[in-house]
């Protein structure tokens, strides 16, 4: 019995250490997998509940600047920007420039004082003429009083003669005095009118020392400085200036080009055109032929053509060089059925053009979702860009698309954007 009790039973012990360790590893791995699945579901749920971004859209216009008509370039010519309304502003009288109130680039309205000549002598002349006018008016008043007294005396002498109490010679003397008084009054009134005219002329001469803008415009150059002598007819040798400023109405700017007389038949008034200035390569400004000058230059065998811009632009400055592209309207219209890359020109706002992987694209909106469309750019026209391929016209394009936008994203079009 005792031997049985002392038997070694250590081999019957259960090793709990290894089993505990195995269960802990599987537990943590399973927990991580479950948390990952829950996180993925949460992200998908958040994305599905996220409010789509709001975007503004515009319609792509088929047919370039022709408003639905495909136009091609039929002729080009080089020229310069020239304002139709331009003037060298000078004084009407000679004198030394006392003040100049404008600088280059300033705008001035019609009648605004640009500068003043020294005019103390004109002011002194006015004061003298005013005094002479007062003297003349006093003489008129005195002559009127003398006339009135002569009239009364003549009337009294007539009454005396009618009563048979006076002499005829006395009546004749009274009548002569009245005639003299009337003549003196006429002379006094004439002197007063002369003094008034002289004063008016002096005031006009004073106003001529104030040099005013003849029209609304921009100051291009200062031609004189304070202290220089200015004259409407400058003397030789540069001792006097003929003008104080040169100004122009920049809104009247136009391109003047010389067209070879062999091609002038292709140009006509009101013909659409585009102007590309040397200073802004690739930027084309809409324009239109204003006039084909009805004479030719036989030395150069050219005809001058004047092309007006459709809209004023602060970038267009006088004397800038550039090229005019004369356009011809095609027979057909570029409707919405034209296929991308068919050659139809489409205009979109420049804000609709974006870059993706170094290539130009526009974002199209259809059924509340966006799609990237690669396009071929032909250059800007004003605040729009010409598309040569990729669009047919009539598509809704996103303006200022967010950088985070992706193909297929749902968006909300801002109401009224179209």
Give the residue with greater pLDDT, 78 vs 19.
78
Q: Which residue has the tokens 């070879």?
A: 260
Residue 66 pLDDT class (50, 70, 90 cuts): very low
User: How much is the pLDDT for 2?
Assistant: 44
- CATH architecture under which domain 71-84+252-333 falls: Beta Barrel (2.40)
CATH of domain 54-68+335-413: 2.40.420.20
> Is the pLDDT at 95 greater than 60, yes or no?
yes
Which token pair is 415?
A: 């109401």
pLDDT at 4: 44
pLDDT of residue 341: 38
Question: For position 358, what pLDDT does the model report?
Answer: 81
Q: Which pLDDT band, with edges at 50, 70 and 90, does 16 fall under?
A: low
Q: Does residue 22 surpass a pLDDT of 70?
A: no
Read off the pLDDT band of 68 (50, 70, 90). Answer: very low
If you average pLDDT over residues 395-411, what whole number do you get?
Answer: 82
Q: State pTM to two decimals.
A: 0.56
pLDDT confidence of 411, banded at 50, 70, 90? confident
The lowest-confidence range among 37-51, 93-107, 236-250 is: 37-51
pLDDT at position 337 is 34
pLDDT at 350: 86
More confident residue, 403 or 82: 82
Q: What is the mean pLDDT of the chain?
A: 81
284-342: per-residue pLDDT in tens?
899 999 999 999 999 999 999 999 999 989 899 999 999 999 987 543 333 333 333 34
pLDDT for 183 beyond 70: yes
Class of CATH domain 87-117+210-248: mainly beta
Q: What is the mean pLDDT of residues 351-358?
A: 84
Q: What is the pLDDT of residue 336?
A: 34
- What's the pLDDT score for residue 71? 57
Q: pLDDT tens-digit profile of 206-250?
A: 999 999 999 999 999 999 999 998 888 765 555 677 889 999 999
pLDDT at position 409 is 81
- How do residues 110-169 score in pLDDT, each as one tens digit? 999 999 999 999 999 999 999 999 999 999 999 999 888 888 888 887 878 777 777 788
Which tops the pLDDT comparison, 377 or 183?
A: 183
Residue 10: the pLDDT is 53
Q: Indicate if the pLDDT at residue 394 is higher than 60.
A: yes
Q: What is the pLDDT of residue 86?
A: 92
More confident residue, 251 or 333: 251
13 versus 372: the higher-pLDDT residue is 372
- pLDDT at residue number 239: 65
């Amino acid at each position: 019995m005792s031997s049985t009790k002392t038997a070694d039973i250590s081999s019957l012990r259960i090793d709990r250490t290894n089993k505990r360790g195995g269960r802990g590893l599987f537990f943590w791995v399973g927990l991580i997998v479950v948390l990952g699945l829950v996180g993925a579901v949460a992200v998908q749920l958040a994305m599905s509940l996220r409010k789509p971004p709001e975007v503004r859209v515009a319609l792509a216009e088929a047919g370039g600047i022709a408003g639905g008509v495909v136009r091609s370039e039929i002729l080009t010519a080089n020229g310069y920007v020239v304002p139709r309304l331009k003037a060298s502003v000078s004084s009407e009288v000679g004198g030394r420039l006392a003040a100049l109130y404008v600088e280059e680039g300033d705008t001035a309205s019609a009648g605004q004082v640009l500068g003043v000549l020294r005019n103390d002598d004109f002011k002194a002349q006015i004061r003298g003429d005013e005094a002479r006018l007062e003297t003349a008016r006093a003489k008129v008043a005195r002559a009127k009083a003398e006339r009135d007294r002569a009239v009364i005396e003549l009337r009294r002498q007539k009454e005396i003669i009618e009563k048979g109490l006076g002499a005829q010679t006395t009546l004749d003397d009274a009548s002569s005095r009245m005639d003299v008084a009337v003549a003196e009054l006429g002379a006094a009134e004439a002197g007063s009118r002369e003094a008034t005219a002289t004063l008016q002329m002096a005031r006009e001469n004073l106003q001529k020392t104030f040099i005013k803008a003849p029209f609304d415009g921009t100051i291009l150059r200062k031609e004189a400085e304070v202290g220089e002598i200015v004259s409407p007819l400058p003397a030789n040798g540069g001792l006097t200036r003929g003008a104080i400023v040169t100004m122009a109405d920049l809104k009247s700017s136009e391109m003047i080009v010389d067209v070879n007389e062999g091609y002038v038949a292709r140009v006509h008034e009101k013909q659409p055109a585009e102007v590309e200035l040397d200073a802004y390569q690739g930027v084309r400004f809409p324009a239109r032929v204003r006039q084909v000058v009805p004479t030719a230059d036989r030395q150069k065998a050219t005809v001058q053509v004047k092309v007006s811009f459709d809209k004023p632009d602060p970038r267009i400055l006088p004397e800038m060089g550039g090229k005019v592209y004369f356009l011809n309207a095609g027979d057909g219209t570029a409707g919405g059925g034209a296929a991308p890359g068919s050659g139809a020109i489409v205009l979109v706002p420049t804000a609709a053009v974006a870059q993706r992987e170094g290539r130009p694209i526009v974002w199209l909106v259809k059924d509340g979702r966006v799609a990237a469309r690669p396009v071929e750019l032909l250059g800007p026209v004003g605040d729009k860009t010409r598309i040569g391929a990729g669009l047919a016209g009539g598509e809704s394009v996103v303006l200022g698309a967010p950088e985070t936008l992706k193909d297929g994203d749902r968006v909300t079009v801002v109401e009224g954007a179209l």
